[in-house]
Amino acid sequence: MDDWAWRRNHRYASIVCNLERRRVVTLLPDREPTTAQAWLAAHPTIAIVARDRGGGYGEAAAKALPHAVQVADRWHLMENASRAFLEAVRKSMRQIRTVIGATTIDPKLLTAAERLQYEGYLRREETNAAILALSKNGIPIKQIVRQTGHSRKLVRQVVRDERHDVFRTRQSSLDLHLPWLDEQWASGCRNGAELWRR
């Protein structure tokens, strides 16, 4: 059981699938627990209910089919695992960049689009630093909002360490070969076609 949108952000319903046969069994008109419970109660032979982590379908299954085992289906397992992984990486991005040495960026080597992105990144980092400094001085979030003019949501994210801006430069196919190319250039080989052939 899962929810799906008739029209996103406006009207939702429930879909019931047989995962073994890979077929839709029925569409329920809404995603209310009572509707799901009524449908499940009418099908007492169901032994396993695969559902999302939301409590509505779990509650409905527990009431209608107390003998049924409730599990997460493969899609929800992958969705939850990937979300948790990305969140862990996002929180550790600053340390990761430090370890791999990606903290120094030469603005002269950036494309025009990357330079604009980098300047925005620097502004966001300044904002984060200013908010953190105020927070470390014991100033409450409400006062930081008034003082800086930033939204309460943004200030809360920065204070709770939930906002990490990442700046990524485009990878070039030459990046792996740059040390070798620098050596060749320094040793006197200045012919681009010859360097490409090598």
Tell me: pLDDT of 101 over 90.
no
- Global pTM exceeds 0.95: no
Output the pLDDT for position 97.
63
Burial (Cβ within 10 Å: 0-12, 13-18, ≥19) of residue 50: buried
Residues 103 and 125: beta-carbon distance below 8 Å: no
Give the residue, 116 or 168, on which the prediction is more confident.
116
The mean predicted confidence, pLDDT, of the chain is: 85
Euclidean distance between CA atoms 51 and 61, whole angstroms: 9
Tell me: pLDDT of 71 over 70.
yes
Tell me: pLDDT of 29 over 70.
yes
Percent of the chain with pLDDT over 90: 38
Across residues 9-17, what is the average pLDDT? 89
Per-residue pLDDT of 152-175, as tens digits, reads 999 998 888 877 666 665 566 777
Output the pLDDT for position 168.
61
Output the pLDDT for position 48.
93
Residues 139 and 159: beta-carbon distance below 8 Å: no
